[in-house]
Amino acid sequence: MALALLALASVPAAFAVNVDGTVSSGEYSKQTAFDNGNYRLLWEFEGNRVFMAIVAKTPGWVAIGFNPSTVMANADMVFGIVGNQGNAQTSDEWSSGIFGPHAPDVNQGGKSDILSFAGTRTGDTVVFEFSRLLDTGDKFDKAIPTSGRFKIIWAYGPSLQLSAKHTKAGSATIQMEGQK
């Protein structure tokens, strides 16, 4: 019996992330924070998929952008738009210019590659979770590495309108296997 328990304990939990719009303790093994903790990013890899959660203090949209060239240019962006009732929408976008514009991949000849998403709002904090393939094959997406350094941009907006410019935005290079 003890051996059986030991064997079970050593098997990594399959599908540990639950895309339900809440982040529970231990759900994601990697995380980092920006803007004095007002924007937190958590992530987990499962097979060929990545799961991400954005936890931010904002009444508006939240977004992450992958591997831009300059400022926002050529960034593969994922937006989370979460209403007060936890009604969530997402948009898989691509920024073609340094300060935008960004438009849905589907409007530029690509695909929407978000596999699952959900969000909640509690007080002034929004949680948005999503999953996608690490490498979607879409020319308007960047492949996400599971190790090494990777450049991202983050932003959150003042309202749920995606045309509203961010209240705060920044760029960072993150360590994909978690901070060392």
**Residue ranges in contact with ligand HEM by CB under 6 A:** 63-65, 71-72, 77, 99-100, 153-155, 157, 162, 165-166, 169-171
What's the token pair of residue 53? Answer: 């959660």
Shortest gap between Cβ of 59 and ligand HEM (angstroms)?
A: 15
Q: Which is nearer to ligand HEM, 15 or 172 (CB)?
A: 172
Q: Which is nearer to ligand HEM, 83 or 101 (CB)?
A: 101
Shortest gap between Cβ of 122 and ligand HEM (angstroms)?
A: 23
- 3-class secondary-structure state, position 106: helix
Shortest gap between Cβ of 162 and ligand HEM (angstroms)?
A: 5
What's the token pair of residue 70? Answer: 């300059």
Q: Which is nearer to ligand HEM, 24 or 97 (CB)?
A: 97
Q: Where are the beta strands (DSSP E) in the chain?
A: 30-34, 39-46, 49-57, 62-66, 75-82, 88-95, 102-104, 116-122, 125-133, 149-156, 168-175
Give the span between the Cα atoms of 103 and 175, in whole angstroms. 28
